Structures are given as structure tokens and as C-alpha cells.
Structure 1
């Protein structure tokens, strides 16, 4: 698929959006979700779109909802608040909606791969429902998740999104009174998967170490899938998530 370096988007018709790369987190003005890496931006208006949101087709199908036809909307349809059925987060802007069934998907969630391969013989599969507890929150809950082929490792898509936002707040949003970024000890305020795993495995050091190794691998490829752009910044983010 050809990627235009600049174009006019219907949601921002007055100026052209230019494709650029950033290692600084941003909020997409289309869907309202966090992003990093490739984006389309209007420098004059401080307007940003995920690459996925900017290039979203008018309609899609999804393997989890075989009877649905999802159509793209710039604003959530209807008078009631809508929730993405993938990540269980509020729909604040761009959305794919099935009128017949009532399901909703953020564009980035709709674009998540069904299968991930970390290159080290570990495959992860996107699941509509969890049959075992998520390693982040400890619950099964609603919403999509990625599960390892061995079925020993699971992470909600929503949990990974929360971890990303929390880590970015730690790294980027802690500022002093002069508006300058403070130096932050990586991991001081970030969520700790390691602590969760210690509780899960009741302090068994070897089991926790192996699980953390798999967590590193899983997080890397799941974060890459959610952001749609594997970049160098992901390694730093993972370092924060797995610290302590």
C-alpha cells in the first residue's frame, strides 16, 4: 500500500498533513488515543493523526465479528457514550461501528494483528476472551488480549495501553516549574510487571525470572502491534515497565 508523505484529510481540510516520525508521545486528534512513531501532522494547527487513523478505509470486516460490517465514523454515532469492544476504553472520536450489532472499535484496535511472532519461537495470538488471568491486572475481564501459544502468558490490550500511558507520564510529563523535564529514575513511578509476577508465582525466583524474560519478549511485540510502529523508544519503555 502506497503511503502519501502529505495530503489533505477530511477531518482537517484547511491544511495538508505531513508524515513525520516522533519519539515523543502524542494524543491523536482523530481517535483520542495515545501514539508514538509515525504520524500525520499539521504544524500550523498542532494537529496529529495516527497513521492508521489518517489512512483508515471507509469499511472493514473483522475475524471476531463475522456477521458485522464496520463503517468508519469521524464521531461516535448515537446519543450515548460508546466503548471500544477491543480495549474497553471510551470512544472519543474516530471509530468503526457496526450499526446492526452495535460493536465499536478504535481504528488502531481494529488494526491489531491476529498473530504475533517475536522471532524467538514464541507466538502470541489475539483473543476475544481470556480463559486465564491477565499478568498485569490478574483478572480475566472483558476486552481483547494477547496470549502466548503455550497459554501461560496473557495480557489485556487495555492493560498494555494503561502501562504505556503511565510510563510516558513518568518519562515525559514530570516537569519542573520552569516547564523543563526533570530527570526521572527509570522505574520509580512506573507500573511493575515483575511485582505482579512475584505475587502470581509466590516468590519463586526461577519462575519469576523466566516469566519476566517472556514478559519482555511479549511486551515488545504487543506494544509494537498496538502502536503500529516498532521503534527504538519501545526498548526504553519496556525497561521502565519491567523495572523494580
Structure 2
């Protein structure tokens, strides 16, 4: 459910207003990058993902059927913690299972099990035996895999791509909106004609766009204005 304006415990000074942006932002709740739908305080430049602005007190997840994840405003304990979905550090809002000790970023906890735009359909898996298109390794983190099983992308690798390309510019809190080229990374289909290689790259590039949208907290966003063509050098 979406509200035009909300009050939030993380920013009690002002109310936060819903807006849509094609510019990347850093969520002040989970400390991860976001794009698309958000709640924002324009006065204080305070931003929240939808999942961080309207968290559920507790959730369950299909990958961890014995777990009950509780929403916490900060990681429990004093030891460093990482997200079991993307393997990245937990530094802000988190869903934590006290029994198992598992942690999930709010956006990772809410990753859709299926991404489908009518042409490309991707399924979320906890572990995949096939190598990732980005890093070439197997079974690293949660992965999105195409129906044809030709394209596999680790959630962790998508976050690394963004981290490599988007960096904070001092106190201005602005992000450089350059998406990494995947042209060389994806052209590894040995023994295929040039035309087939190009088609594979185009399909894989389209798949990456949808995974990026989901990882950034807004799976309905095609973010075409930001992502552009991933095939460009």
C-alpha cells in the first residue's frame, strides 16, 4: 500500500512524501542504493526505499521456512553482519532471525521470486549450480536465472556492478549515474556466430536491467533513462 505522506520513526522531525525518481539515491534506512519509488524529506534530504519506509514487523521467506525475520532499525550485537541474500554488509535497517542468526536487507528480503516483463522471465534461486554471467563463479549468493537457463546473475554481482559505477561525491550526496558496460563480460558464447552472440548479449542485457531494478528496491521500474543500453561501450 502506498501513501502520499507518512511519519517515520527514523526521521521524526518532518513527514516524508512519496515521489518517483529516475536518479539513484542512498537510502538513509538500510544504507543501500535505491531508484524509482521512495519517501523523501526535501528539507533534510532524507530518503527511504519503499520497503524501508513501510516495513513489516515480521516476515517469513520461502528460502528459510523455519525462520521468522523481525524488522530491526540496526543490526543486532556488536559484530559485523552481512546479508544472506547478497553477502553485503548490514549497516542499517535489517530483517533478522533471532533463532538462526540470518539477516536480510529489506530490499533483498522483498526481491520478487519471479521477474517477468512478457519477454524475459527470471526466477530467484537461493543457489544455482551454473556459473554467473558476471563473475563466472557458481553458488555465490542468491541468483536470478532465466527460464532457458542461459542467463544467471548473482544478486551480489549486480550490487558490485553498481558499487563500481556509482560513487558518492563528497557531502553533496550525489551519485554518478553511469551503468557499467557488459559487452565484454557477456560475449563469452564460444562457437556461436556473431549474430547469435549479439542476440545473447541483448537478451542478457535486458535481464540485467530487470535484476538491477529489483535490487534497487523497485522491481516495477524499467529505469530506462538511467540504465540505457548496457551494450554500449
* 1:58 equivalent in structure 2: 57
* 2:82 equivalent in structure 1: 83
CA RMSD in angstroms comes to 2.5
1:233 pairs, out of 215, 223, 233, with 223
* 2:91 equivalent in structure 1: 92
Matched, 1:197 2:186: yes
Secondary structure of 1:14's aligned partner:
coil
Higher relative contact order (CA closer than 8 Å, sequence separation 6+) = 2
Which runs of 5 or more structure 1 residues have no equivalent in the other structure?
A: 174-178
- TM-score, L = length of structure 2: 0.88
In 2: Cα distance, 1:14 partner to 1:236 partner: 32
Q: In the TM superposition, what is the alpha-carbon distance from 1:203 to its structure 2 partner?
A: 7.7
In 2: Cα distance, 1:201 partner to 1:41 partner: 47
Q: In the TM superposition, what is the alpha-carbon distance from 1:233 to its structure 2 partner?
A: 3.4
Q: Name whichever of 103-112 and 211-220 sits farther off.
A: 211-220
Q: In the TM superposition, what is the alpha-carbon distance from 1:36 to its structure 2 partner?
A: 1.2
**Contact 1:194/1:208 (CA < 8 Å) preserved in 2?**
no
Count of equivalent residues: 229
* 1:224 equivalent in structure 2: 213
* 1:161 equivalent in structure 2: 159
Secondary structure of 2:20's aligned partner:
strand
Q: In the TM superposition, what is the alpha-carbon distance from 1:146 to its structure 2 partner?
A: 0.1
In 2: Cα distance, 1:234 partner to 1:83 partner: 30
Q: In the TM superposition, what is the alpha-carbon distance from 1:165 to its structure 2 partner?
A: 3.8
CA distance 1:125–1:229, shift in 2 (3 Å): closer
- TM-score, L = length of structure 1: 0.84
2:126 pairs, out of 120, 125, 128, with 128
CA distance 1:222–1:232, shift in 2 (3 Å): closer
Residue by residue, what CA displacement relative to the aligned partner does 1:106-149 show, whole Å, maximum 9, x if unpaired? 000011111121212x3211010121110011111421010011
Q: In the TM superposition, what is the alpha-carbon distance from 1:235 to its structure 2 partner?
A: 5.0
